[in-house]
Amino acid sequence: QSALTQPRSVSGSPGQSVTISCTGTSSDVGGYNYVSWYQQHPGKAPKLMIYDVNKRPSGVPDRFSGSKSGNTASLTISGLQAEDEADYYCCSYAGSYTVVFGGGTKLTVL
């Protein structure tokens, strides 16, 4: 049950694209197509942004996209906007009805 590895911070200017990586193992990220991503603004509850690696819930802008290769999943945010500034967490199913989160990435919009 070790946390997934995310960069502590990323940044980009409005209109640019950024990608946040999430590295696990073959027992979690690499073993299942059950990676999800959550956005959390300060003092707020997390919000689901991507599920099943690359699916977007209703209401999430298509500027948010997800992908996976091997043991690493990625969240890409294109056309950065000021309101995208937040913490982002990846999460993966890890077998036996357990899940593991990443350590979180702080996105700064310059």
Partner 1 sequence: EVQLVESGGGLVQPGGSLRLSCAASGFTFSSYWMSWVRQAPGKGLEWVANIKQDGSEKYYVDSVKGRFTISRDNAKNSLYLQMNSLRAEDTAVYYCASKYGPRYFDYWGQGTLVTVSS
x-or-dash string of contact with partner 1, 33-52, rule CB under 8 A: -x-x-x-x---xxxxx--xx
The answer to whether 47 touches 40, Cβ cutoff 8 Å, is yes
Minimum CB–partner distance for residue 97 and partner 1 (Å):
4
* Rounded (10°) CA dihedral 91, 64, 72, 10: -90
Please report whether residue 30 would count as binding partner 1 according to CB under 8 A: no
Answer for which of 9, 14, 99, 108 binds partner 1 (CB under 8 A) is: 99
Which structure tokens are listed for 56?
A: 């977007």
How many residues form the binding site for partner 1 (CB under 8 A)? 27
Which structure tokens are listed for 104?
A: 């979180």
